[in-house]
Amino acid sequence: MLAIPLSTSQIDAASKFWKEGGWETKEFAQLKQVFPNTHDAVKLKAVVLNALYGTNVYAIDKVGDYLAKTLRTPHSTGPELVEELVSEIKQITNRNHHSFVAKYAHFFISPDFPILDWYAEYMVGKHLGPVQSKNPKRYLRFVADVQKLKELASLTCDCAQLDAYLWVAGEYWYWKEHPKVEINAALKTQFERLGENSDTERTLRHLLGIDASSARAD
């Protein structure tokens, strides 16, 4: 049983909100169209991802070279690949870059890799409560938790659809608990307008699992 329920209609609302709000990163689709093979233009893909998503990989040139070399040789194909790449990249940057690697894997290797970021982890944790995985490896733990969430909520959505929900909901509920925290400015503007009755705000309220009256009361 989930600590906080999650419905398929909330995932559908997230997909609608994502599409109508223009949140999709078109540059990734363009890169994949021009360079469809996973081992093509690896450094370029890494640089664009790092710039657009602000994943803070400062030695991106060296990291890009490493990724290009690794993806041209035999390597893991499951979620273990992310952990392996994070471990190797840490030798270059002295930091763990789970978010960067997970995003790269999702967008440029296989869409079956769940997208990891802090807000997605936070939101999955709120839904699962005490049944969260205890795996010490961050990405493997996140993948297990995503699968558990989909199972308990009877979801059939793909990773991108679930991520659209987790990111928006995670930003909102963390912001509600910490009003002074800096979150995505465009999202914050829409969060502050939740009492309005536009189609966008109705979709957002549905995504978040709140109604108009509770939004106004807040």
Three-state secondary structure string covering 48-101: HHHHHHCCCCCCHHHHHHHHHHHHCCCCCCCCHHHHHHHHHHHHHHCCCCHHHH
pLDDT at 216: 38
- Banded model confidence at residue 21, pLDDT cuts 50, 70, 90: confident
- Banded model confidence at residue 7, pLDDT cuts 50, 70, 90: very high
pTM of the model: 0.91
For 82-119, what is each residue's pLDDT tens digit? 999 999 999 999 999 999 999 999 999 999 999 999 99
* Mean pLDDT over each residue of the chain, to the nearest integer: 92
Q: How far is CA 168 from CA 29, 117, 147, 180, 187, in A?
A: 21, 12, 19, 17, 8
User: What's the DSSP call for residue 131?
Assistant: G
For 186-216, what is each residue's pLDDT tens digit? 999 999 999 888 888 999 999 999 964 443 3
